Homo-oligomer: A and B are copies of this chain.
Amino acid sequence: MADTHKEIAFNAFYMASPAQAWAGLWAHPESDGLEYNTIKFWTDLAERCERGLIDAVFIADILSANDVYGGNADAALRAGTQSPIMDPFMLVSAMAAVTENLSFGLTANTTYEEPYLLGRRLSTLDHLTNGRVAWNVVTGVLESAARAIGMTEQVAHDRRYDMADEYMELIYKLLEGSWEDDAAVRDRAARVFADGRKVHAVNHQGEFYRCEGIHVSEPSPQRTPLIYAAGGSARGRRFAGRHAEATFLSSSDMGFTKGVVDGFREEAVKAGRRPESVRVFNAATIVVAPTEAEAREKEREIQRYTDEAGNLAMFSQWLGVDLSQYDPDEPIGHIESNAVQSIAAQLTQIEGDREWRLRDIGAFAKISGREAHIVGSTEQVCDELMRWVDETGLDGFNLTRTVEPDGLESFVDLVVPELQNRGAYKTEYREGTMRQKFFPEGGAHLPSDHPGYGYRAGRATA
């Protein structure tokens, strides 16, 4: 008889690139990273996830080269980390075709994607997956993306979120407001596919966007896909509090994480929503084996294949600071950069006071400070995951890609059954759309306390 514990959710956190957060791991002899540009890579991943009742494949994205480190993309390209990269939306239909219940989180950028066209893409994928899709709303972080798209520089941070707020309004008008629920009649006998009187033109004339016309896709199972948004800044958290149904962070620190979890729920409340209307995920790297010794050995093996410059390139992007300007052996304390000092402080908090060097950031280690780093036996890993949830209020984890497929397979074969034994993991998928799987008490569509709800065609406020 299983104990009961809050059910923990898990996403397989991917990018359409050879490697991601742990730079260079594609080169490991057992890694499938070189196959990232084949369909089989993605359908195998989807089947692996569904076998383990994983909630979703979440595909993060950057639109352009990571060229903060050294002013060029060389380190990222060499390590295959986030570069090269493909379009996440293109991967979905193949993965959906081989699964029944797995969901898909897809990143798309409001600053660069045209809203009318993105609206159609979202509807298309929600149709094809039968409602198993989430949109991870991002506003962009790379200067290189702005230049690639033909701008001279990035839109300023807070203004990007102002644009994104208006973007969401337009998306709601299209996906919620254009078609009434009974507009798609689909009546063979009457030979009426859709009743044009119940399909309404959007007329949006905003500060950043204009759009006149009907949404060209009929309503999909969720209408608006489940919305993900992360936000480290105050403005980003405000955006997420208003729109997000799921959010995520990357932290190795439980106290910090608890603060973020509470903060997101407070932001939701400020936006007039229930605190439990946002599910929060933390990034987690899990290295598991039947025994702790085996797990530690596996970790060392992974460590051997981690690319130091590639990891520093990742940190340079996250911090917005070119770390190539410093000597890797220089103690971090000597570097005059607030961003770098905040890492040093985090490292010290976790690992104790030590003279940290830049190289320590570049090496694969739990000292990275960038997520829950959990290494051990099946029981140890399960203990730690449950402790994280109990102490922080998290709903789940984004599983970092390490050496795959072993990383995820070990999780599915070892951790999942043990979490099930402990009553902390589902034993089958729930029925319904991604939104219903996330919020069993709710329906397929945006709930009534969500700002998109009021735009639904036929409602008084539409």
Residues of A within 8 A of B (CB): 16, 18-19, 24, 26-27, 29, 34, 37-39, 42-43, 62-65, 67, 72-75, 77-80, 83-87, 89-98, 112-114, 116-117, 120-121, 123-125, 127-130, 144, 147-150, 184, 186, 188, 191-197, 199, 209-214, 216-218, 220, 305, 307
Contacts and interface: CB of A to CB of B under 8 A. Distances in A.
Per CB-CB distance, the 3 closest pairs between chain A and chain B, nearest first, are A74-B196, A80-B193, A93-B94
A404 to B, nearest CB: 15
Given A37-B218, A63-B117, A86-B124, A94 B97 contact: yes
A269 B62 CA distance: 42
B92 A90 contact: yes
Nearest to A88: B124
Contacts of A213: 64-65, 67, 144, 147-148
A247 to B, nearest CB: 25
Protomer copies = 2
Contact of A121 (B90, B192, B218): B90
A83 B149 CA distance: 31
A117 B113 contact: yes
27 contacts: A34-B188, A37-B128, A37-B218, A37-B220, A38-B127, A38-B128, A39-B129, A42-B93, A63-B116, A77-B193, A78-B193, A78-B194, A79-B191, A80-B194, A84-B216, A85-B216, A87-B121, A89-B90, A90-B90, A90-B93, A90-B125, A147-B211, A147-B212, A147-B213, A150-B209, A150-B210, A191-B305
Given A90-B125, A90-B128, 13 more contacts: A18-B193, A26-B193, A64-B214, A78-B191, A79-B193, A85-B120, A87-B121, A89-B121, A90-B121, A91-B128, A94-B94, A117-B149, A148-B211
A60 to B, nearest CB: 14
Nearest to A142: B213
Given A38-B127, A38-B128, A193-B18, A217 B85 contact: yes
A186 B220 CA distance: 41
Contacts of A194: 77-78, 80, 83-84
Nearest to A72: B196
B94 A91 contact: no
Nearest to A125: B90
B38 A191 contact: no
Interface-central residue, A37, A80, A87, A125, by most chain B CB under 10 Å = A87
A20 to B, nearest CB: 12
Contact of A39 (B80, B93, B196, B197): B93
A97 B191 contact: no
A120 B62 CA distance: 11
Contacts of A148: 116, 211-213
Contacts of A84: 184, 194, 216-218
Contacts of A113: 114, 117
B94 A128 contact: yes
A204 to B, nearest CB: 8
A87 B38 contact: no
Given A78-B196, A199-B73, A65 B124 contact: no
A8 B42 CA distance: 35
A83 B16 CA distance: 32
